[in-house]
Structure 1
Amino acid sequence: MTITQFGVAGRFYECPRWHDGRWWLSDMRDHAVLSFSADGARREEARLSGRAGGIGWLPDGDLLVVAMDERQVLRRRAGGGLEPWADLAALCGDTAGFLNDMVVSAGGHAYVGFDADYRLYPDRGLLIRVDPAGRASVAARDMAMPNGMMFTPDGRSLIVAETMSTRFSQFSIAADGTLGDRRIWGDLAGRIDRRPAGRMPLPAERVALDGCTLDAEGHIWVADVRSTCLRVAPGGEIVDSVDLPDGLIAFACALGGADGRTLLVCGANDQREASRLFTTRVPVGAA
């Protein structure tokens, strides 16, 4: 596939979303939420005191953004600045780590990943659910660094990429937003050849799944932070890939654009610096 550089460079782009005719994303290291028009013009939407993580929107249109190090979810009301919406610190306890990505359902339930320090706790990550009133509770435990997340089109399941494993886990979503019936959506173990080890402390033959997006055929585009962006079929078979220019690694991706068939990929070097955005056209649009 042909890829094209999009927009302007940043410090470390992550968590992209297509929303209301624009690309939205966090620049984690610049502590900002940004949006880009279809022609690449950038606009700052919010500024944080620390690293910015996952973003989403409540049913009334208010923006939510994860304050990674403060272990909070912040809310931006129409015409206003950011304010605390949910404090997740007590649920994370004294475990070293940080909040990461987030998705928000059509009903206003937010799901936030807590990445316990993988060097100390490789499988003690959490999924935290925040209800529409801002009340938080643990939705799932024993996650191997929960990262990119997406809903199925019917809104009845949540799929989560676990970076410190090779799998996607899937949960059923109850009417009150609680998660259950955990199962494996797909496992990529042994599916690909060796890839550059980069800085992640993983066996070289393994992938490291990061930001991801679901397409209309039920396949997942996922950034493998060892190198590239992969298209994965249910079960775990890799059916396509998009490579970035030499020296850059994929960290997140999203499907969007007017017809849903533009894939936006966030890339950076292995130091998570000198971030760039790339787009390519794909045959199958967003779910």
Structure 2
Amino acid sequence: MTAEPASTLLRRPGPPDPVPDVDPPKAFDPRFAGAVLPDARLVSLYDQAVFGEGPVWWPARGILVWSDIEGRRVLGWRPDGCVRVVIDASPFINGNTVDRNGDLIHCEHGNRRLSRTTPDGRYSAIVETYEGRRFNAPNDVVCAADGALWFTDPAYGLRQPRQGALATSDLGHHSVYRVDPDTARAHRMADLGQPNGLAFAPDGRTLYVSDTSRTEGGDGHTIHAFAVYDDASLGPPRVFAEIEPGVPDGFRVDRRGWIWTSSGSGVQVFSADGERLGLIPTPQTCSNCCFSPGERRLFITAQAHLYALDLADG
């Protein structure tokens, strides 16, 4: 795997493309109407991925990074509209986040582990096993305020050869893990049907985790909320929201505590109390989303596309 090889240009600098025949954002609550600019419309920043996922803003390079899982690349969009390959021949990287050191952290389906890329392009593994056994296929990852990395480990990469390699689970469970920032050891924190997206509330006292087992014949299409205690342990899960249509593949929590989640209809937005506030329709099923610095723009991954929508200053 190489970081930003010489021939990496995928899109030249230029303005985004309009997205025709898509409904504007819909407000179900006045609070959401004030969060989106009145004339804001979805725009396309790139449309040549195979299956996009794992968007995150990387401050060290000033770019929006996202994974093309099935294209086996990590891509970077720059504010001038340019898109380049950040990592080529990736091991089916899915979720990404940025840690306290400014490094880019990856979930690898192929190698079944967490890894990192530094701003200067150095790549290394972080954690590969739990109690001596390989993970299933780490899916999404987030960095807590104390520097610990939390990630989900469903089985999708073991069952979908276009996103990993066919294999039998070494663990026999699908779990949420915390990687201690001092020891780099993984601790099993919770189990779900197929844990997928995850994010912390702004105060760090609640961890949200989605269960997307509906995609494999189960009934999980929910976001669960866990209380986070002072010792980093979790309380029992409660159902925060059930997503219809589709599943909450990936999501983000903004500074107000609102949850912006993917679904079968677009990005659905919920208050911290679980009230449905609004919807941002997307032409394709979206997989994930993230914010720009200052939360003035929402980036959305949806199959081949990277979309964006301008937000009001909340």
Range class of TM-score, shorter chain: 0.7 to 0.9
* Inter-partner Cα distance in structure 2 for 1:187 and 1:170: 9
- From the superposition, tell whether residues 81 and 240 of structure 1 become closer, same or farther in structure 2 (CA, over 3 Å): same
* Inter-partner Cα distance in structure 2 for 1:278 and 1:5: 4
1:261 to 296, 302, 307: 296
* Superposition deviation, residue 70 in structure 1: 1.8
Residue 147 (str. 1) matches residue 196 (str. 2): yes
* Superposition deviation, residue 249 in structure 1: 1.1
- Partner AA of 1:249 in structure 2: T
* Inter-partner Cα distance in structure 2 for 1:110 and 1:74: 11
Tell me the residue number matched to 1:14. 53
Q: Secondary structure at the match of 2:145?
A: coil
* Inter-partner Cα distance in structure 2 for 1:58 and 1:283: 27
* Superposition deviation, residue 73 in structure 1: 0.9
Q: Secondary structure at the match of 2:70?
A: helix
- Partner AA of 2:310 in structure 1: R
C-alpha contact (below 8 Å) 2:152/2:195 kept by paired residues = yes
* Superposition deviation, residue 5 in structure 1: 0.8
Tell me the residue number matched to 2:254. 215
Tell me the residue number matched to 1:163. 212
- Partner AA of 2:258 in structure 1: H
* Inter-partner Cα distance in structure 2 for 1:40 and 1:52: 23
1:250 to 283, 286, 292: 286
- Partner AA of 2:143 in structure 1: V
TM-score by length of 2: 0.72
Tell me the residue number matched to 2:74. 33
Larger Rg: 2
- Partner AA of 1:242 in structure 2: I
- From the superposition, tell whether residues 107 and 33 of structure 1 become closer, same or farther in structure 2 (CA, over 3 Å): farther
Q: Which has the higher strand share?
A: 1
C-alpha contact (below 8 Å) 1:215/1:284 kept by paired residues = no
Tell me the residue number matched to 1:83. 124
> What CA deviation, in whole Å up to 9, does each residue of 1:186-206 have, x standing for no partner?
1226xx5xx5xxxxxxxxxxx
Q: Kindly report the root-mean-square deviation, in angstroms, between the aligned alpha carbons of the 2 structures.
A: 2.8
Residue 232 (str. 1) matches residue 270 (str. 2): yes
- Partner AA of 2:236 in structure 1: R
C-alpha contact (below 8 Å) 2:177/2:190 kept by paired residues = yes
* Inter-partner Cα distance in structure 2 for 1:48 and 1:89: 26
C-alpha contact (below 8 Å) 2:112/2:134 kept by paired residues = no
Kindly report which structure 2 residues correspond to 1:190-205, keeping only aligned pairs within 5 A, or say none.
195=245
Percent of residue pairs bearing the same amino acid type: 24
Structure 1: runs of 5 or more not aligned? 196-206, 269-274
Tell me the residue number matched to 2:105. 64
2:233 to 168, 179, 193: 179
- Greater Cα offset, 34-43 or 84-93: 84-93
* Superposition deviation, residue 124 in structure 1: 4.4
Residue 137 (str. 1) matches residue 187 (str. 2): yes
- Partner AA of 2:307 in structure 1: F
* Inter-partner Cα distance in structure 1 for 2:173 and 2:208: 18
C-alpha contact (below 8 Å) 2:56/2:98 kept by paired residues = no
Tell me the residue number matched to 1:278. 307
1:113 to 131, 147, 152: 152
